[in-house]
């Protein structure tokens, strides 16, 4: 199996300050790339708790990390409940926690998950497939203004009003059921003169980002989860966050600043780190990532 390539691995290893025997939480495990590197450095006496909303990803992790069996525990859950998860496991304090907020290549490549505008599939976008609401429900039921606001708030999409209007016009004729339909609507909504000059990315990128964030409540739960992670850190414990767009990074930045002002942490990255050019060339999906880290005091 071809695994998702972990983003900014050197920064993760350096700033988590990993040592044998530590207890580390990977709050967004994905397919286990970061977890594998962490376990290599904290075992045999260390322990890793891996959390993810995607059961399929966790099963991949279980196979990938088989050689470390007995030193890790996988939990199907939402990092918003990291405090409940740790308490249920009778864990009071941890040495480090990692939040990698990106969507995995594994999820993007699976057209049946509906995350990609490059592959036609059902309009789904649920990270946790047991969740009730999907992208289909959102796109086909929200009012035009609600869709417009969502596209601006979560995607910073310049043409949010036009896209929302065309979505509503289209769904009056027939439901919008596929990723291809939504991508086509987004592309058609951008005025012709801007399609190449304004967009360096596919014109559906921000629409898909916004809908995915809304479906999975990604921004809504992030600040609380970061604060809970900080709360569980031991003195000198580390928290690391990898974000992939400005909205996530802004939340991480403000959460860290507030916690530092309250005397809880020292920020280790005054400005976010970005991947080296060599990494971007070898792993293009890393190009938009930003990395922040802090230490409990």
**Rounded distance between C-alpha atoms, residue 56 and residue 59, angstroms:** 5
Contact indicator for 151, 163 with CB cutoff of 8 Å: yes
**Rounded distance between C-alpha atoms, residue 121 and residue 248, angstroms:** 26
CATH 1.10.150.170 spans which residues of the chain?
Answer: 111-216
pTM for the model stands at 0.89
According to DSSP H, which parts of the chain are helical? Answer: 9-16, 33-42, 55-64, 82-88, 105-109, 135-141, 144-155, 160-173, 179-189, 205-216, 218-232, 246-261, 277-282
- The CATH number of 111-216 is 1.10.150.170
Kindly report the number of other CB atoms within 10 A of residue 260's CB atom: 14
CATH 3.40.50.150 spans which residues of the chain?
Answer: 9-106+218-296
Question: Topology of domain 9-106+218-296, per CATH?
Answer: Rossmann fold (3.40.50)
Peptide bond before 123: cis, by omega within 30 degrees of 0?
A: no
Tens digit of each residue's pLDDT, the chain (297 residues): 545 678 999 999 999 999 999 999 999 998 899 999 999 999 999 999 999 998 988 999 999 999 999 999 999 999 999 999 999 999 999 999 999 997 777 777 788 888 888 888 999 999 888 888 999 999 999 999 999 999 999 999 999 999 999 999 999 999 999 999 999 999 999 887 666 655 567 889 899 999 999 999 989 999 999 999 999 999 999 999 999 989 999 999 999 999 999 999 999 999 999 998 998 888 888 888 999 999 999
């Amino acid at each position: 199996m071809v695994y998702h390539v972990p983003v900014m691995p050197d920064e993760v290893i350096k700033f988590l300050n990993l040592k044998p025997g530590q207890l580390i939480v990977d709050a967004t495990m994905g397919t286990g790339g970061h977890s594998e590197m962490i376990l290599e450095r904290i075992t045999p006496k260390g322990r890793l708790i891996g959390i993810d909303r995607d059961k399929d990803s966790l099963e991949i992790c279980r196979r990938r990390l088989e050689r470390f069996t007995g030193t890790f525990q996988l939990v199907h859950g939402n990092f918003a409940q990291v405090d409940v998860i740790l308490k249920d496991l009778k864990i009071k304090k941890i040495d480090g926690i990692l939040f990698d907020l990106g969507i995995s290549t594994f999820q993007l490549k699976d057209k049946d998950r509906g995350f990609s505008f490059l592959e036609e599939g059902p309009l789904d976008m649920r990270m946790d497939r047991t969740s009730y609401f999907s992208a289909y429900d959102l796109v086909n039921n929200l009012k035009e203004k609600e869709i417009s606001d969502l596209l601006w708030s979560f995607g910073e999409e310049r043409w949010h009003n036009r896209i929302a209007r065309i979505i509503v016009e289209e769904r009056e004729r027939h439901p919008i059921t596929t990723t291809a339909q939504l991508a086509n609507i987004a592309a058609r909504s951008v005025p012709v003169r801007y399609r190449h000059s304004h967009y360096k990315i596919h014109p559906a990128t921000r629409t898909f980002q916004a809908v995915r964030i809304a479906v999975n409540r990604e921004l809504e739960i992030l600040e609380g989860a970061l604060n809970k992670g900080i709360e569980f850190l031991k003195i000198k414990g580390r928290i690391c966050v990898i974000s992939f767009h400005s909205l996530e990074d802004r939340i991480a930045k403000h959460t860290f600043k507030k916690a530092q002002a309250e005397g809880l942490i020292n920020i280790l990255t005054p400005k976010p780190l970005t991947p080296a050019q060599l990494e971007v060339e070898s792993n293009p999906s890393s190009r938009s990532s930003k990395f922040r880290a802090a230490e409990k005091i």
